[in-house]
Structures are given as C-alpha cells and as structure tokens.
Amino acid sequence: MLDSAYIVGAAETPYTRHPEPGVSTSGLLVQAAREAVATAGLRWSDVDGLGVSSFTLGPDHAVDLAWRAGLGPLSWLMEDTNGGASALNMLQHAELAIRSGQASTIVLVSGDRMDAAAFRMLVEHYNRATEEHLAPLPITGPNALFALLTQRQMTALGLSRRDYGHIITAQREWAGLNPGAVYRAPLSLEEYLDAPLVAPPLGRYDCVPPVSGADAIVLTAGPATAGIGGSGRAVRVLAVETTIGIDDQDADGLTTGLVQAAPRAWERSGLGASDMDVLSVYDDYPAMALAQLIDLGAIAAEDAQRDLAERIGTRRLPVNTAGGQLSAGQAGAAAGMHGVVETYRQLAGIAGERQVADARFGVVTGYGMVLYRYGACANVAVLEGVR
C-alpha cells in the first residue's frame, strides 16, 4: 500500500447560466476530464480509472460515458449520486484505489447541463420524501427548508441578516478575481440587504445561481509522474473522511456530519483547522457554510458574529476563494468538485489573481443530499501542495 495519492491536474469548464442548445451533460463531463488530463501532462490513454457524478447523465451511466469518451480498458469505475457530497465520496474511494494499485491514473468528473427544465425536474423529484411530502406543499427546491434552518441558526448564534452578508460580499470579491465565475461585479452589504426576499430571512443573494458546467481532477500515485505540465508540482491527499446520517433528520440541522468526520481528518493528517491556508466549504446557503466552518473548528460558535465580520468579511480567512457556488455558480453535481478544483489550484500555485500567498495546506468539505429537512451527508478532505 502506497503512502499517498496525488492530485496532479484539474479543470473546470466555463460555467453558463443559460446553456446553448448543443451543450450536453456528457459533452461537458468529457470536456472537463480531457482538460484535467492535459493539465497533468498525461495522455487520455493513460487513464485507467473513472469516477462520475451527475444528476442528468441518464439514461447513460459511468460505463456509457467511458465508452463514448474513448476510454479503456479501465481497472476502476464508479458512479456517485450523492450530490454535494459526491466529489469527496469519490475521492475517498479513488485515493485508496491509487494507493492499493487498483488503478494508476484516475479521473474524477462531475457536472450537469442544468437548464430550467432540468433544475425543476431535479428539485421536484429529488427523492421519495420530496415527491411525497414536500413537492405537494407545494414547494419546489430547498429555499424554504433552509430559510427555516437559517432562522434556527440566527436564534442559536444571535445573528442577523447583516452578519451573513459578510460571507456573500467576501465571496463576491473573490469571484471578481476568478474569470470563470458567473457573478463577478462587486456587491455591497447594503445591496445584499436590499435585495428581494426569496424566503425570509433568505434574500436573492443567499441562494445559488444554477449553472451548466463540469469540474474534473486527475489522481496518480506520485507527483514525479506528471504534475502541472510535467513540473512535478502536485497536491497530496492527506485525509478524506465522510459521515453519512449523523442524525435521523430529527435534529435542528445546524450540526453537520463534519462534527464527526473533521476530527478524524485532523488526526489522520496531523493538522488542525488553524494550519489551513485556504478553506473551501460547501456553500449552498450561507448558514451551511457557517455551520461547516464551525464543525471544522475554523470558527468558534460563540465568536461567529465577530469572525464573520473580522475574518470572513475582510477575507483574512481565505474561504471559497473562487467565489463559491454563491458567486461562481452551482453546476449541479459539480458543486462539490468546484471546491476541490479551486483548492488544488491554490495549493499548486496556479490560482492567478486570487492566489493566496504561500498556500501549502487546504481543506475542502462536501455537504448535501437533503433527505427531508436538511443534508444527510458531509465529508472533508485535507490536502497539501508539494513539489
């Protein structure tokens, strides 16, 4: 068993609010996967493992995508349906496949062509509980559920809408430095507060813009094999941990599975939240970004109001440095992979204008799969940039 697996390449297709008619889910997935392999300095024929996550790939599955993309023979294949947790779920398996020698070059790719019809289909038929107990209310999509959850968090932590605004405006500032983000224009706290309410206390800017796009990473057994353009620069996977179903959907939803997964990841990596140079948390709603920062140990619950203003709002704590889903866009199942790609870019030193100086350690979280009232899945990866 090898000690480590390495991320040696990554790519993200352009995100678009309204996809052109010719754009397909499978086309986006293959575009991202091929770009990721190219950035790693590898050949398409080197790929012997494929992991796929998509809400809209059907009727095809991973094997169909591999065939249509001209891949094979493969010694490792997986498909993960767990939305915002799918990227790190796949990484948890892929890391072990590389270390055990089951595969030597694995591409993990996530994405969706998420037009209005696909989005409506997704949110109305998300799962059986949604079909039977939420869609008939009638609600479409999770805004109402997370509005109720945000109210609970505001009460628990003594927060106001203005406090959450620091997450939104800071991520918009980061997005201004990311040519791939769909919303890049600066957003003031006043503009955030004045925006129309979608489901009080949630306003327009508390909700992610659905986009079409795909994200991919490439894993190998060692940085020397490739790295960025053969430079040998890569990102080592130090730990990946997952907790599914921390409770029975009978709690307040303010504590995620990270409260169990993160301590395991810190123990395995020998690091802690304060060692992280960049952080990427799953920001489907600002309340969930905050909940995950608390569960990681990056912010203390009792200091939440102060830290939102003084550490997040000022960008002193580099969180979601590509703009996150809230400004870059939520490309369906790629939403979880977006943070992995950005953290790879930061730790590889190729994040352009938004590069965090001397970034060596990074943490990425995944969260999602609303069963009834809130997400059931959470996972975390600790990564290190190496030469």
Partner 1 sequence: MSGPAFFQRCTSCSAVSFPPRLACRACGGAAFEQIEAGPGVVEEVTELPGGLRIASVRARGVLVVCSTPSAVEAGASVALVDSPPGPGDSPAAAAVASAPDTAPTASMTAQAVHLPGSARAEPAALFTTTAHIENEGTP
Q: Residue 272 corresponds to which amino acid?
A: G
Q: Residue 250 or residue 353: which is nearer to partner 1 going by CB?
A: 250
Binding partner 1 by CB under 8 A: which of 23, 63, 96, 148?
Answer: 148
90 binds partner 1 (CB under 8 A): no
Q: Residue 150 or residue 269: which is nearer to partner 1 going by CB?
A: 150
> Which token pair is 171?
């991520």
CB of 136 to partner 1, least distance (A): 4
Which residues on neighbouring strands pair with residue 111, listed in sequence order? 214
117 binds partner 1 (CB under 8 A): no
248 binds partner 1 (CB under 8 A): yes
58 binds partner 1 (CB under 8 A): no
Which residues on neighbouring strands pair with residue 242, listed in sequence order? 379
Separation between Cα atoms, residue 382 and residue 91, nearest integer Å: 11
134 binds partner 1 (CB under 8 A): yes
Separation between Cα atoms, residue 324 and residue 285, nearest integer Å: 10
373 binds partner 1 (CB under 8 A): yes
3 binds partner 1 (CB under 8 A): no
Q: Residue 6 corresponds to which amino acid?
A: Y
Separation between Cα atoms, residue 257 and residue 262, nearest integer Å: 8
116 binds partner 1 (CB under 8 A): no
Q: Residue 73 or residue 136: which is nearer to partner 1 going by CB?
A: 136
CB of 174 to partner 1, least distance (A): 29
Annotate 272-306 with DSSP letters as a single string.
Answer: -GGG-SEEE---SSHHHHHHHHHHHTSS-GGGHHH
370 binds partner 1 (CB under 8 A): no
CB of 315 to partner 1, least distance (A): 30
Nearest to 15 by CA among 167, 179, 171: 179
CB of 377 to partner 1, least distance (A): 16
Q: What are the start-end ranges of the E strands in the chain? A: 6-12, 49-53, 76-79, 105-112, 197-199, 202-203, 213-220, 234-244, 278-280, 361-370, 375-386
Backbone φ and ψ for 160, nearest 5 degrees, come out as -120, 175
CB of 11 to partner 1, least distance (A): 34
CB of 291 to partner 1, least distance (A): 16
Q: 154 and 201 in contact (C-beta within 8 Å)?
A: yes
- Could you write out the three-class secondary structure of 338-375? HHHHHHHHHHHCCCHHHCCCCCCEEEEEEEEEECCCCE
Backbone φ and ψ for 269, nearest 5 degrees, come out as -85, -15
The stretch near partner 1 (CB under 8 A) out of 56-64, 134-142, 162-170, 309-317 is: 134-142
Q: Residue 250 or residue 358: which is nearer to partner 1 going by CB?
A: 250
182-197: string of b/e by CB count within 10 Å (b at 16+)? bbbeebeeebbeeeee
The stretch near partner 1 (CB under 8 A) out of 52-60, 126-134, 285-293, 331-339 is: 126-134
CB of 63 to partner 1, least distance (A): 12
Q: Residue 154 or residue 309: which is nearer to partner 1 going by CB?
A: 154
255 binds partner 1 (CB under 8 A): no
CB of 254 to partner 1, least distance (A): 12
**212 vs 20, 26, 113, 172, CA distance in Å?**
10, 12, 5, 19
195 binds partner 1 (CB under 8 A): no
Binding partner 1 by CB under 8 A: which of 66, 145, 182, 383?
Answer: 145
123 binds partner 1 (CB under 8 A): no
Cα angle 182, 87, 250; round to 5: 100
Binding partner 1 by CB under 8 A: which of 138, 185, 353, 358?
Answer: 138
* Interaction site with partner 1 (CB under 8 A): 129, 132-139, 143-145, 147-148, 151-152, 198-202, 248, 250, 372-373
